[in-house]
Amino acid sequence: MRELTPTEVYDAWQAGEVTIVDVREQDEHDRTSIPEVPLFPMSTLRDHLDELPDGPLVILCRSGVRSAQVAGYLDELGTRVEVANLDGGIIGWANEGLPYEGEPPR
């Protein structure tokens, strides 16, 4: 599984090369989110695999731990050509000064 830095993900996302998918839970997403990033909570992801966006995915969580688990799971399933983990999660994203809405992630 690939690990990408927040800046690498942001640049690829802005270029339309990847789709970011947030796997945090709804309450976390309600507090802090990245505009236009779809939410697929890890707790219910297995029930919604067919709803994931097509193309290369970057998986996002709070710190990068859950997203690494989900990225590994998707790799094992062979559901995507390319799946990567956002190293540092939304905390790393915010620490690099990238755009988000809501309160600072902790």
Task: Please name the residues in contact with 44: beta carbons below 8 A apart, sequence gap of 6 or more.
Answer: none
Looking at 20, 34, 61, 71, which residue is catalytic?
A: 61
- Integer CA distances (angstroms), 44 to 7, 24, 51, in order: 28, 10, 12
How many CB atoms lie under 10 A from the CB of residue 4? Answer: 17
Clarify whether 61 is annotated catalytic: yes
- Integer CA distances (angstroms), 103 to 26, 31, 36, in order: 15, 6, 17
Residues with a catalytic annotation lie at: 61
